[in-house]
Structure 1
């Protein structure tokens, strides 16, 4: 039987901070239910454990204390068998004017073969949350970057990581090393500590497209500072710390940010984020600049060869949507392939920052190729966009 999801709100550490208005059982066969854990057993333990890390009450002489021990927390029961686009969209917009932060630990199966992301309703729900949630400041969507490291998976194949509206978080051990189950990609913003070190186990599977973890939603009872969803991402980028400088792969981009395909900007520093949030100046309104490249005739990628695409960008200079400082850079690609897992796609910015948007995945033998697939990097954060961008696509066929 696949694991279920839920939060045990009767737990002594959680019952004081449980918030029914942030809870909903999407799987209830009996109509509306605000009990996110109708079945209380060990198979439902993960959501409760996550909730406890956030919101265990303080000074009750029971087990522990949460990092946000005065936060109100709830859960949305979503996982158990088939999950539809409409169900995901409902979960991500449930009570969006009341819930501040949605913590989501699900996505495509982390088997190194699947490639999936938000479908149309869920993509619209994420945009709606970012623009209308928290009274217009934007819902905060925190997303797990993936657990497919042991299957050589890459989170460039995870559309929930590649959306600009999510904050993709990876995992490190207590020594600062990347967790063995973690996935690399330039969409990862930061990492935090995990309890699953060497010999640990955190990987379970459910039905269609879903990894076996839960939606945890919490309402933070404070009114200031008035951070937007983009302000939060800027704070993360500014305050993250390098957990292990000896780990290969660290780069400094042209704006001075340290970036890594496994660590993102580094280890989350909650204390420093709170300290800087108190006097943080809100960032300017978001602007978007798009350039489209089409090939006539189609460019052919030879076996074990590569195709390089040069894109000269002015960052929409002189227009109302002119970009001077980058945040997210997305690349939407369409290409056919005999074996999708052989594809390696990288992007070099005018500042010289190279992002591996999609690495090879030996378990992916799909012939579907990429159809309007969106890849994303945060490694160009703070850089200016004007100049030559180079997109490199390589076929790494072994035989």
Structure 2
């Protein structure tokens, strides 16, 4: 199989397509359907996506080469783990294969009463060239779906995430090699090491096995949405819903431009087995809502809201009485039963990292179909190597604050684009960059050997017991030496910190090569800490991708506030309440920390 792939690749090169993949200007996509010309994420010509303003030409996923060569996901199955999927939708049904499940009634029809999962499925693999709607990123890929968000038991999780009822290995050609998870949670307090929870530990074992051993050892990839809580978030306290928002210098929703809810605080998002994805809008900039963090691996189009600025154009539940597109007036010109879509089968307002994730899932299916013999980790590596430095001038987010001595100081709270010692660009907003389909496909065609086997170190612990001075750039610092000479794929950090105002803290990790990663930005909207701080809190960074793990690692914890910032919660029936109103009366303590390296 690899031999045949190399012959194909040489033929493409000799015919001129080798240079085309890298340098050719955008050419019209083949087999256009009526709405494809508004799907800016596939080919951005500056169109509006039926919104009130236009995007920026060229800010797209770069699929021209794959499109013209017909490399579009054939033979790769993607599992949509969501609100369900309307698998009878005429723009999805031809790509649906056996394997879907309604987790409530046990049938093979994963009923979607919301529309979210159906829209996600359309972004991945809506059919092309059938004269209706638009197309997916991988329009030849196979689809299965699960209504997991309606029935979130452990049994349902196992089935939707790849563990069959008869515990059969995922080796059939119709078994999924890509799992899309456009969902998440918003913890109001720092997460403790979820591996202490037997259920989560079991999930991680299952994901590890499927990621590495399924499909005759080639493995699979789990894609995860980063979250949509950059400015505020919703949570539950004792079963009661609350809206959580920041307040700084007497102004609500003022968080000094920093992410209010970091993507690195959810246990699912700090799992090595999940590829976390943030969202970019049609101008090639950070989508206003997208959660961000050092754990983000890639960014992809998610759009804005489809009214003032473009969102995603994708499939919707059939009928003008359900889904996102219903009868009535709407600012998005696709909605309400218009001539282009009289039966309201499509939508122009799908957005969020819920959209960015399936765009990456479709990209993965495309790259896998270019060279099915490559391991899933190798495909992930090719995506990292080829990711585009989107929004290259983004300078990050500095934080000015008054220190304990009454002086105004500045802290580089979210660094701009940095190039690590292995030559990889990284930004907490965009991870290793925007997914670049054509470049990854081109590399896959010429890649004949997969990555070496994954190696995972045990947790390496370091006692610190260092005081964290209040409102000071000095911070608390501790050094650990690792002897493992591994090429890094990801680094997990576990911390134990005593502090009564965890929202004040920035946590940064510096590698032996000198690369500095802010693994938790300050002003994260926690309501409180576990046991008065962070207790076995785990975070993840991809900032060190490709570097050598051997040498001295430095952890630094900085208190950036002496009491000016607060977190508020609101419920319309209960009212508005403030948390963290008073500054910590005593300095915090960095008690101890641990590192785990994933690499080869």
Q: Normalised by the shorter chain, which TM-score bucket?
A: 0.7 to 0.9
Q: Return the match for 2:137 from 48, 67, 88.
A: 67
Seen in structure 2, the aligned counterparts of structure 1 residues 15 and 182 have a Cα distance that, compared at 3 Å, is same
Seen in structure 2, the aligned counterparts of structure 1 residues 314 and 294 have a Cα distance that, compared at 3 Å, is closer
Contact 1:331 1:374 in 2 (8 A): yes
Structure 1 position 17 matched with structure 2 position 95? yes
Partner of 2:490: 328
Ranges in structure 2 where 5+ consecutive residues have no aligned partner = 1-81, 165-169, 233-259, 312-351, 396-415, 564-600
Seen in structure 2, the aligned counterparts of structure 1 residues 59 and 190 have a Cα distance that, compared at 3 Å, is same
Structure 1 position 171 matched with structure 2 position 267? no
Contact 2:218 2:373 in 1 (8 A): yes
Q: Return the match for 1:338 from 500, 507, 517.
A: 500
1:292-322 CA-to-partner distances (Å, cap 9, x unmatched) read 23437x444344353111112232xxxxxx4
Tell me how far apart the structure 2 counterparts of residues 226 and 143 of structure 1 sit (CA, whole Å): 24
Contact 1:355 1:379 in 2 (8 A): yes
With the length of structure 2 as denominator, give the TM-score of the two structures: 0.57
Partner of 2:185: 108
Seen in structure 2, the aligned counterparts of structure 1 residues 48 and 240 have a Cα distance that, compared at 3 Å, is same
Partner of 1:379: 543
Contact 2:298 2:433 in 1 (8 A): yes
Partner of 2:118: 48
Contact 1:112 1:154 in 2 (8 A): no
Shift of 1:46: 1.5
Q: Return the match for 1:287 from 455, 470, 473.
A: 455
Larger-gyration structure (1/2): 2
Counting only pairs closer than 5 Å after superposition, residues 1-399 of structure 1 correspond to structure 2 as 5-21=83-99, 23-26=100-103, 28=104, 30=105, 32-37=106-111, 39-40=112-113, 44-80=114-150, 83-95=152-164, 96-97=170-171, 98-109=175-186, 115=191, 119-151=200-232, 152-196=260-304, 199=308, 224-248=371-395, 249-280=416-447, 281-290=449-458, 292-295=460-463, 298-304=465-471, 306-315=475-484, 322-323=485-486, 325-368=487-530, 369-399=533-563
Contact 1:311 1:389 in 2 (8 A): yes
Contact 1:149 1:183 in 2 (8 A): yes
Seen in structure 2, the aligned counterparts of structure 1 residues 230 and 168 have a Cα distance that, compared at 3 Å, is same
Shift of 1:395: 2.8
Ranges in structure 1 where 5+ consecutive residues have no aligned partner = 203-210, 316-321
Tell me how far apart the structure 2 counterparts of residues 234 and 222 of structure 1 sit (CA, whole Å): 16
1:246-269 CA-to-partner distances (Å, cap 9, x unmatched) read 111101111111111111111111
Contact 2:417 2:426 in 1 (8 A): yes
Shift of 1:7: 0.8
Once the two structures are overlaid, the 10-residue window that deviates more, 112-121 or 91-100, is 112-121
Contact 1:348 1:354 in 2 (8 A): yes
Tell me how far apart the structure 1 counterparts of residues 129 and 310 of structure 2 sit (CA, whole Å): 30
Seen in structure 2, the aligned counterparts of structure 1 residues 389 and 270 have a Cα distance that, compared at 3 Å, is same
Contact 2:84 2:147 in 1 (8 A): yes
1:337-368 CA-to-partner distances (Å, cap 9, x unmatched) read 32333332110112111111112345312231
Tell me how far apart the structure 2 counterparts of residues 34 and 398 of structure 1 sit (CA, whole Å): 57
1:196-241 CA-to-partner distances (Å, cap 9, x unmatched) read 2585699xxxxxxxx9969989988959432222112211111111
Contact 1:156 1:359 in 2 (8 A): no
Contact 2:303 2:310 in 1 (8 A): no
With the length of structure 1 as denominator, give the TM-score of the two structures: 0.84
Tell me how far apart the structure 2 counterparts of residues 386 and 345 of structure 1 sit (CA, whole Å): 21
Tell me how far apart the structure 1 counterparts of residues 521 and 441 of structure 2 sit (CA, whole Å): 35
Contact 2:489 2:544 in 1 (8 A): yes
Shift of 1:72: 0.9
Contact 1:340 1:366 in 2 (8 A): yes
| Secondary structure at the counterpart of residue 100 of structure 1 | strand
Shift of 1:93: 2.2
Residue-pair matches, total = 370
Shift of 1:179: 0.4
Which structure: greater strand fraction? 2
Shift of 1:134: 2.4
Once the two structures are overlaid, the 10-residue window that deviates more, 259-268 or 276-285, is 276-285
| Secondary structure at the counterpart of residue 512 of structure 2 | coil
